[in-house]
Amino acid sequence: MVAKNHQQWKANPPLQGDEWVNSRIYSDQAIFDEELEKIFKHTWIPVCHESELPKPYDFRTMSIAREPIVICRGPDNEVRAFLNVCPHRGMIIERRPSGSFLEGQPSGNPKRMTCMFHAWQYDMKGNCVYISREKEGYQDRLCKEDIGLRRLRCEVKFGGFVWVNLDDNPAVSLEDWGSKAFDCLRKSIDAEPLEVFHYHKAIVNTNYKLWHDTNCEFYHDFMHYHNRVTGFNDAYFARKNEAFENGHITVGTFEVNYDQYEGFESRADLSFPHLPPNQWYMIDLFPGMNFNLRGSALRCDIVTPLGPDKVMIEYRGLGLKRDTPEERQTRINHHNSIWGPFGRNLHEDLIGVQGQGTAMQTGSEPRRLLLGRHENQTIHDENGMRHYYEEWGRWMNRLPSNPDLPFTEHQYATATAAE
């Protein structure tokens, strides 16, 4: 059969239920709102790296599931996270993306988080330390000791990344959440302190899951000339996609032949500790984070979903903190030549997912997207995406191929085109 009429186009594919998804999961506003409530408010989210808070009173801000967050390093050197919201009148406290509380702001004192609205102030532990005209307004009915910021679960782990969970009682600890997936890299990224040397972000008109999909499957390497030239060999096609509990996957390593691409060179001299020369591992964490180690540089993608068809992606490049200036510049060149804003591969991935977003905007007719490639769990198998959407179905209690139906593992695996 060639081109299809409308009825044929809308028909379910002749595959098992876990081998395709309904595009409504990428475009439906109600499903997106539910994802924020059911998934992002209850999972561990990496928010930054400890090297971005090098000194006491340094801070960064971001958001998780529409909740503004502030992460700061206290004078005791502890990294903590709080809702970036003043409990007085619900005002956002800190508007800057990063900086230091060491110096006073026009509306507040040094070493304090100050809400500019009414000048209430908080210390680095979230305690309220000053209420303007406290006695005049509240007499003995309320005092600063009764007030505090909303503290959040916060830990530094897995190569020095800062993780936050909005749930005070998460279903699993951070260690249990990610340790098995990180096993392949943990020895390398925990061997010595790392440092962020590159940061940029992009707001992309696509669903956050589509970005995660493109990190989960390497079948799209046909789009990347660099990857074809440096890697399409027997070792590349033998790489394994390994699934882990909690919806995570890892993509196994092989030796990349960088010198096969004009102008590139081996990265062996600056390999991360315990990593064989020119190796390449990738970890994809549910619900949408990515850790990607190409020999000399570690890349981390952190997604902040903004809508069913919009996502902010923060890209970080990391090297060893002890790098000499010459080593650091080489790592930057290695990273940016592939993953920088004008790198060889990153913009091609963005073209792919933006094209998907254009074709699946909110209100568009539902489509059936295929996840049915089976190649013995090797690099072009789509088992990583199938594993991801099985986990997504559990958290959402929705069947990915028909999100109006509740999720059951049996139905997910056995639903057929007849249904």
- pLDDT, one tens digit per residue, over 189-233 is 999 999 999 999 999 999 999 999 988 888 888 888 778 888 788
Same domain, 342 and 223: yes
Whether the Cβ atoms of residue 99 and residue 93 lie closer than 8 Å to each other:
no
Q: What is the CATH number of the domain that holds 318?
A: 3.90.380.10
Taking 90 as the threshold, does the pLDDT of residue 406 lie above it?
A: yes
Give me the percent of the chain exceeding a pLDDT of 70. Answer: 97
Same domain, 191 and 145: no
* Residue 295 backbone dihedrals phi, psi, to 5 degrees: 65, -75
At 345, is the pLDDT very low, low, confident or very high (cuts 50, 70, 90)? confident
Same domain, 217 and 276: yes
Same domain, 258 and 372: yes
pLDDT of residue 222: 82
Same domain, 217 and 255: yes
Same domain, 85 and 119: yes
Q: Considering the domain boundaries, does residue 29 fall inside one? A: no
Same domain, 251 and 399: yes
DSSP state of 177: H
pLDDT of residue 255: 87
Mean pLDDT of 340-354: 87
pLDDT of residue 410: 64
The last residue of one of the domains, among 155, 170, 201, is 155
pLDDT of residue 413: 66
For all residues of the chain together, what is the average pLDDT? 93
At 359 the three-state DSSP class reads: helix
Buried/exposed 153-171: b ≥16 CB within 10 Å, e otherwise:
bbbebbbbbbbbbbeeeee
Q: Considering the domain boundaries, does residue 30 fall inside one? A: no
Q: Note down the domain range covering 219.
A: 179-411
pLDDT of residue 416: 46
**Overall residue count recorded for the chain in this entry:** 419
Same domain, 308 and 236: yes
Residue 96 CB partners (closer than 8 Å, separation 6+): 61
Chain centroid to CA 252: how far? 19
What strands, in cross-sheet order, belong to the sheet with 310-320? Answer: 194-204, 310-320, 297-307, 289-294, 280-285, 249-251, 241-243
The last residue of one of the domains, among 140, 155, 170, is 155
Mean pLDDT of 256-285: 90
- The DSSP bridge pattern shows strands 79-83 and 67-73 to be antiparallel
**DSSP-assigned beta bridge partners for residue 319:** 195
pTM score of the predicted model: 0.95
pLDDT of residue 415: 56
Same domain, 395 and 282: yes
- pLDDT, one tens digit per residue, over 2-43 is 898 999 888 999 999 899 999 999 999 999 999 999 999 999
pLDDT of residue 248: 97
Q: What is the number of alpha carbons within 13 Å of residue 322 lying toward its C-beta? A: 6
Give me the percent of the chain exceeding a pLDDT of 90. Answer: 78
Same domain, 204 and 324: yes
Any idea which of 74-83, 101-110, 129-138, 323-332 has the lowest mean pLDDT?
Answer: 101-110
pLDDT of residue 1: 62
Same domain, 208 and 276: yes
pLDDT of residue 284: 96
Q: Considering the domain boundaries, does residue 76 fall inside one? A: yes
Chain centroid to CA 86: how far? 27
Rounded to 5 degrees, what angle do the CA atoms 102, 108, 114 make?
85
What strands, in cross-sheet order, belong to the sheet with 79-83? Answer: 45-49, 161-165, 151-157, 79-83, 67-73, 58-64, 98-100
Same domain, 113 and 146: yes
Whether the Cβ atoms of residue 258 and residue 230 lie closer than 8 Å to each other:
yes
**DSSP-assigned beta bridge partners for residue 157:** 161
Whether the Cβ atoms of residue 326 and residue 191 lie closer than 8 Å to each other:
no
pLDDT of residue 409: 74
At 261, is the pLDDT very low, low, confident or very high (cuts 50, 70, 90)? confident
Q: Considering the domain boundaries, does residue 393 fall inside one? A: yes
- pLDDT, one tens digit per residue, over 301-322 is 999 999 999 999 999 999 999 9
Mean pLDDT of 354-360: 93
Q: Considering the domain boundaries, does residue 66 fall inside one? A: yes
Q: Count up the domains in the chain and report the number.
A: 2
Q: Considering the domain boundaries, does residue 173 fall inside one? A: no
Q: What is the CATH number of the domain that holds 84?
A: 2.102.10.10
Which residue, 390, 292, 392, is CA-closest to 346? 292
Number of other residues whose CB lies within 10 A of the CB of residue 271: 18
Q: Considering the domain boundaries, does residue 8 fall inside one? A: no
Q: Find tokens 């091609």 and name the residue.
A: 348
Report in angstroms the alpha-carbon separations of 266 from 222, 257, 279, 334. 22, 7, 11, 10
At 265, is the pLDDT very low, low, confident or very high (cuts 50, 70, 90)? confident
At 414, is the pLDDT very low, low, confident or very high (cuts 50, 70, 90)? low
Q: Considering the domain boundaries, does residue 33 fall inside one? A: no
